[in-house]
Every structure is written in C-alpha cells, then in structure tokens.
Amino acid sequence: MIDLEAVVSLRAVATQGSVVAAATALGYTPSAVSQQVKRLERETGIALLERAGRGVILTEAGTRLVVASTPILADLERLRADLQLAGDEDRITGEIRIAAFSTVVRGLVIPVLSDLAERHPALTLPLRESEPWETIALVASGQRDLGIVHRWGGVALAMPDHLVSTPLFTDVADVILPRDHPLADRHELHPEELAGERWVATFEATICRQWLRRLFDGVPNAPRIVHESMEFENHVELARAGLAVALVPRLGRRDLGPDLVAIPTAGPASTRDVLAVHRRSQEDSPALRTALDAFAAHAHDM
C-alpha cells in the first residue's frame, strides 16, 4: 500500500525544488524526508528521484505519482470535511495549517488565532511565516491549508486554478521620513520628488521590492537602494537615523513617534490587496470555513 504521508513528502520535493527546502516547508528534517521518499520507492519498486548536479529532480515515474496523487489527496480532504459535518455542529475540530507574511501576522493573524483559540479550543491552527509566492506554493501543494498573501498594484501573483482567493482588505504603504526632511510637510509624494533619495528596501526576490521598483517606472536612476532588510521595523529605524527613506505598510506598523512622518504616494498610490487563499477541495470543511470567516470578520473591523 502506498504511504500517503510519503507521497506528501515527494510532492513537497517537487514543489520546493530540493529535499532541504521540502523539509523546511513540512517542518521535518531532511533525513526524515529522504527516508520517506526511499520508503515510497521500496513500496513501488520504482526510482522516484534522481541526481541532478548537487540536487535532485523527480523521475518521470515520480512526476506521474505526484500528478496522480493530487485528486486522491483532494478526495481525502473532502472526506475529512464530510466527517466533520457529520459530527457535533456546534464543536469545530481539526487542524488548519496557516501560512502568512510577516506584517499580517502581527496586524491580523495573531488576533484571529487568539479569538479562535478561545471560541474553538478543539481547533488547532499552526502558523508558518512565508512570502506570498511561497505561501501559494505551500497551499497549492497541500502543505498548508489557508494562506494570507498580498498583491501590490500591478505586480503579478499567479494563482493556480485549484485555489480559491477571498479578498480581505486593502493596505496602504507610506513613505517614512524624518520630521525635519524637506518633504516632510507634503500631504502626498510623487515618485519623481523622491528620485534622489537613499532608500532601504526588502530583498530583491520579494514582492515589496518589486513594487518599489515599479513605483519608479519612468524615473531615471531610481530608486537608489543602499540598505536591505526584511524587517520593516528596521526600515523605520534607518529612517529615524536619517540614513534612508522607506516605504512601509500601515499594517502591523507601530506608532512612529514625534520624530518621523508618514506620507502616502500618488501617481501611483502604494496599496496592496490582502487575500486569503485555500484549495477548492476544502470548500466544505467546517474548520476551514470557521477560520476563513474569522479572518474576514477581523479584516472588516480594521
């Protein structure tokens, strides 16, 4: 009999690109993932992974197994939902694994988890912080059940057909400047006014960094990024020290104090849509629906 847990590990290798990345996504050790795949190879009698340079790739048989397992795992999710529906309607049980980006963890996810823990103590909601592209991959591959992602302006965020997205709210990002900065008295700022500034930004591979570059489309030699950090709190402190200006979302942002100002951008405005994503096969899960409704309700009150 094929071990479905081992199939999930193989799917993780396929989606994450390596055994180490798959282990990180699943919360296992690389050795545990390797052992599960080897056990699956012994059960099937077929090689499922092969060496490619320093890494591994799926064999043709491995790819076929991952593709063929997708509807099976989806059917199991529907069965789990049916069993939950057949139980005590007033008692929500089960596990919904969540992935979300850092600022929404602080600004939305933690309050939601606290609320759900009080109202539904039999519902567990393990959380993993991840960037939106990674979150979509985790939910699409079955490694997470509910993802909270953001989509900036015109920056694309590809969504597989078997995922469902639910809009939650729109977040605004402001330019953070020292109060004594020459532009600090403006009500809004246009990209060309900021072309000569020194910037702090998130890493190159992030959606936030892509939006900052998109903001300056058509403005030569801008933005001039001199500092990089994944923590927006560090961006704020660099602005406070007069070492850079920053574009920082309002979501999860602490009070700036008297020595900084926050000014929105115009032409274009810096906004991002925050969405919840889940697999279509989970539509009837009471646990998933309860978690999704809680996120929507908290987002409405923001």
Give yes or no: residues 176 and 152 share one domain. no
- Residue 282 counted as domain residue: yes
Q: In DSSP terms, which residues pair with 148 in a beta bridge?
A: 100, 276
271: tokens are 């906004």
Distances (CA, A) of 259 to 179, 245, 297: 5, 13, 34
- CA neighbours within 13 Å on the CB side: how many for 37? 31
List, for residues 109-131, the tens digit of each pLDDT value.
999 999 999 999 999 999 999 99
pLDDT at 81 (0 to 100): 64
What's residue 72's pLDDT?
A: 76
Cis peptide before 220 (omega within 30 of 0): no
Bridge partners of 263, per DSSP, are: 175
Per-residue confidence (pLDDT) for residue 295, from 0 to 100: 97
pLDDT of residue 21: 82
User: ω into residue 223 within 30 of 0, thus cis?
Assistant: yes
pLDDT (tens, 9 = 90+) of the chain, 302 residues, equals 677 778 888 888 887 888 888 887 777 888 888 888 888 888 888 888 888 777 788 888 888 888 888 777 777 766 666 665 555 556 788 899 999 999 999 999 999 999 999 999 999 999 999 999 889 988 887 889 999 999 998 677 888 888 999 999 999 999 999 999 999 999 999 999 999 999 999 999 899 999 999 999 999 999 999 999 999 999 999 999 999 999 999 998 999 999 999 999 999 999 999 999 999 888 888 999 999 999 999 998 87
Give the pair of three-digit tokens for residue 74: 């989806």
Domain membership of residue 80 (yes or no) is no
Domain identity same for 89 and 33: no
Domain annotation covers residue 255: yes
Shared domain for 95 and 108, answered yes or no, is yes
The pLDDT, as a whole number, for residue 79 is 67
Question: Cα–Cα distance between 69 and 59 in angstroms, integer?
Answer: 15
Domain membership flag for residue 47: yes
| 229 Cα distance to chain centroid | 17
Whether residue 270 contacts residue 247, with contact meaning beta carbons closer than 8 Å, is answered with yes
Q: Which residues fall within 8 angstroms of residue 166, CB to CB, at 6 or more apart?
A: 275, 276, 277, 278, 292, 296
The answer to whether the beta carbons of residues 206 and 212 sit under 8 Å apart is no
**First CA to last CA across the chain, in angstroms?**
49
pLDDT recorded at residue 18:
84
Its pTM stands at 0.75
Alpha-carbon distance of 162 to 15, in angstroms, equals 15
Residue range of the domain that includes 292: 85-164+273-300
- CB burial of 149-177 (b: ≥16 within 10 Å; e: otherwise) equals bbbbeebebebeeeebbeebbebebbbbb
Number of folded domains in the chain?
3
CB 288 within 8 A of CB 201: no
Same domain, 210 and 255: yes
Q: Is 294 inside a domain boundary?
A: yes
Residues 267 and 189 reside in one and the same domain: yes
Q: 79 lies in a domain?
A: no
CATH code of residue 292: 3.40.190.10
